[in-house]
Amino acid sequence: MTLTSKDKQTLITLANSARVNAYVPYSNYHVGATLRTKTGKIYTGVNVENAAYPQTMCAERVAIFKAVSEGEKEFEAISVVTDNGGSPCGGCRQVMAEFGLDTVVLLADKDGKLVKETTVKELLPEAFTPEKLSK
């Protein structure tokens, strides 16, 4: 599937809408993500903070884990929306790399403006992937 401009904007709009459900009492940094699988299914996620900070879960991983829990493991694109168009953390980049370096990553701000379009491979060069494990 090729992502059209309309497809990209839809993913961004869905992620921006999901942000209202973020649980962020500590940082107040709302993040929404929308993942589109190669079968065309859509999964959203939001960041969920915790008083024990290491237990916080990022929006990107929530969306990916929802998809995997439903049997999806091949992804086409993920959009991430924050107030300022922030980029995924290292942990999220590694999780994204697990499922495909060619996944398109759309970064957008709170106004729904696409700030950057990239790929997981560009976000995480020299990624550690399943193929790197010795058999």
Residues tagged active-site: 60
Q: Residue 4 and residue 10: Cα distance in Å, rounded?
A: 10
Q: Residue 78 and residue 101: Cα distance in Å, rounded?
A: 12
Q: Which residue type sits at 122? A: E
- The SS3 call for residue 19 is helix
Q: Which residue type sits at 72? A: E
To which residue do tokens 């697990």 refer? 98
Q: What are phi and psi of 14, to 5 degrees?
A: -65, -40
**In terms of DSSP H, where are the helices of 1-135?**
5-18, 59-69, 90-98, 120-123
